[in-house]
Structure 1
């Protein structure tokens, strides 16, 4: 991936985060905005010659107390020194159902572009789309949910996730 594309993606994600954050400052919210909640994730990991940075803002619209629908963006930078550099970016659509107040069921369709550049010429650089469909369930209290989700499209041979099961913590404000 060329350097200017990385800067463009990072700038776009940063602008969206700030726009969503400042849009909540108004004391007078319309009916629509009073039903919108914002959340997302930030990840930062450093290890033995490795770096992993991720940003994933999201928003949901609550149709009522039981059903919500939303969208999210995701960008990740992964670097293993002297081995490879990878950029993952894309988006997702999520549906949430709360059959009772404490239980949250979810379905999330995620589409990520994966660009991996290897430093060793014996490895072939990877550039592909990765699609995941997660079905999940969790325990919910106030704005937070903790649970597990399962990628029904998981393929051991071509997937960015090492396993189909993934724990999650979801928080919306």
Structure 2
């Protein structure tokens, strides 16, 4: 719980600092900060918490590149697992409301079955391609809605149930 709280404070501080760095809606630098937070519940006491911080740099007014991380904790009556992912991303923005992007993630996963004690450690590479819509929240802050597809996904060998992932996140500094 301490790790989750600490990570949450770091993300809030980054967002607050980047908001202060903006002067009257005018961008003072080319750095962008943001990320997403997800929570899921299900049957058999399933619980999932996911945190995805990101840091980017505006190469041009339309092109942004950076690094994104992903930490996910899952638990149910039968197992618990932790997944950590990290990798570069690039987004191209057009018409100030839309974007297309690519995101390469290297995931490291460890899981443990609660009844047998069986431990499972693996890793997987994902290359997500997709795009979406951005809504301005004011002062160079945006919420992003999108969908991406992992072009490296294989049904029989992937730890993920599908190649498609929806995405919702916040970005400050665009």
Q: TM-score normalized by structure 2?
A: 0.78
Match for residue 137 of structure 1? 131
Q: Which ranges in structure 2 are unaligned for 5 or more consecutive residues? A: 137-141
Describe the shift of the 1:117–1:27 C-alpha distance in structure 2 as closer, same or farther (beyond 3 A). closer
Matched, 1:95 2:65: no
CA shift, 1:99, in A, is 4.2
1:67-146 alignment, distance < 5 Å: 67-81=63-77, 83-121=78-116, 124-142=118-136, 143-146=142-145
Superimposed CA distance per residue, residues 56-75 of structure 1 (whole angstroms, 9 cap, x where no aligned partner): 11121112221001112211
CA RMSD of aligned residues (A): 2.8
**1:146 CA displacement:** 2.3
Contact 2:36/2:53, CA 8 A, preserved across alignment: yes
Question: Helix, strand or coil for the counterpart of 1:24?
Answer: helix
What is the aligned residue count? 164
Is 2:57 the counterpart of 1:58?
Answer: no
After TM superposition, the score normalised by the length of structure 1 is 0.78
Q: Secondary structure at the match of 2:37?
A: strand
Q: Which has the higher contact order (CA 8 A, sep 6+)?
A: 2
Query: Any stretches of 5+ residues in structure 1 without a counterpart?
Result: 1-5
Moved >6 Å (runs of 4+)? none
Cα distance in 2, alignment partners of residues 63 and 95 from structure 1: 10
